[in-house]
């Protein structure tokens, strides 16, 4: 099952509300919401049969296998298999929404680190963390803009232009992650702080990289 499946024009408007719902779900920090979304009962209660469930999960698996980070891809997207079904457009946008969630989580955490460790960080270390926070905020904005652009894709007369914007912004977000990581290699920063930030940035970068893969292979 290849992700390069043509998305039907006639169903584009039908998916726009679904996209908005996915984005809203992706930016929610409610633990109760997370519990509901991961509940087997909620995932399967509306499924006609196990054959269809298996097919949708197999689609996610085969699609993720061709990404740069397949295990991360499948781990995060598998729970949304029944929402994505076998739709490459929804696969692309769900992946992008999860990348946004990872970026926002990293940005929020680094912001807290700056506030809570202000007195213990050396001036050079504080500058590195502050620069990283700026990079992460930029990534959040770029991915958010990409989600918005994808949501309006089928209402545009110039889809190539919109997709070009999305690819540019998502690529820039990845560059920002790399810039953040590079900063910690150039300056000495407390090990615990450095490792915590690098772990979050690496996760966000990998999820964004997978989203970019689906974007680059979307036939629209």
Q: What is the pLDDT of residue 42?
A: 44
Q: What is the pLDDT of residue 25?
A: 52
What average pLDDT does range 76-101 have in this prediction?
Answer: 96
Average pLDDT across the chain, whole number: 83
- Contact criterion met (CB below 8 Å) for 56 and 84: yes
The alpha carbon of residue 184 and the mean position of all alpha carbons in its chain are separated, in whole angstroms, by 23
Q: What is the pLDDT of residue 54?
A: 93
Provide the H-helix boundaries in 117-158.
123-151
Token duo for residue 48? 């006609």
What average pLDDT does range 96-109 have in this prediction?
Answer: 98
Token duo for residue 97? 């929404």
Q: What is the pLDDT of residue 162?
A: 94
Secondary structure in 3-state letters for 183-210:
HHHHCCCCHHHHHHHHHHHHHHHHHHHH
* Predicted confidence (pLDDT) at residue 71 exceeds the cutoff of 80: yes
Q: What is the pLDDT of residue 70?
A: 98
pLDDT by residue (tens digit) across 107-140?
Answer: 999 999 999 988 888 899 999 999 999 999 999 9
pLDDT by residue (tens digit) across 158-201?
Answer: 999 999 999 999 999 999 999 999 999 877 888 888 999 999 99
Q: What is the pLDDT of residue 186?
A: 78
pLDDT by residue (tens digit) across 31-68?
Answer: 334 433 433 434 444 444 688 999 999 999 999 999 99
What average pLDDT does range 76-96 have in this prediction?
Answer: 96
What average pLDDT does range 6-35 have in this prediction?
Answer: 43
- Cα distance from N-terminal residue to C-terminal residue, the chain: 17
Compute the distance between CA of residue 66 and CA of residue 43 in angstroms, rounded to an integer.
25
Least confident span in 72-81, 97-106, 186-195, 202-211: 186-195
**Nearest by Cα to 159 from 212, 100, 214, 218:** 218
* Residue 8: pLDDT band with limits 50, 70, 90: very low
């Amino acid at each position: 099952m290849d992700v390069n499946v043509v998305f039907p024009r006639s169903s584009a408007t039908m998916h726009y509300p679904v996209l908005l719902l996915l984005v809203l779900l992706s930016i929610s920090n409610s633990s109760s919401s997370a519990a509901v979304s991961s509940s087997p009962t909620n995932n399967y209660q509306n499924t006609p049969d196990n054959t269809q469930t298996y097919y949708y999960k197999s689609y996610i698996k085969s699609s993720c296998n061709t990404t740069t980070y397949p295990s991360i891809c499948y781990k995060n997207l598998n729970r949304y298999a029944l929402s994505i079904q076998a739709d490459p457009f929804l696969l692309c946008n769900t992946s992008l929404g999860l990348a946004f969630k990872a970026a926002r989580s990293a940005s929020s955490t680094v912001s807290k680190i700056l506030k809570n460790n202000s007195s213990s960080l050396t001036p050079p270390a504080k500058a590195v963390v502050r620069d990283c926070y700026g990079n992460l905020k930029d990534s959040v904005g770029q991915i958010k803009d990409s989600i918005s652009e994808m949501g309006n894709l089928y209402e545009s007369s110039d889809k190539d232009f919109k997709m070009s914007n999305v690819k540019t912004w998502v690529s820039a977000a990845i560059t920002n992650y790399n810039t953040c990581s590079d900063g910690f290699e150039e300056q000495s920063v407390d090990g615990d702080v450095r490792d915590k930030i690098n772990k979050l940035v690496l996760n966000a970068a990998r999820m964004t990289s997978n989203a970019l893969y689906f974007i680059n292979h979307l036939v629209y």
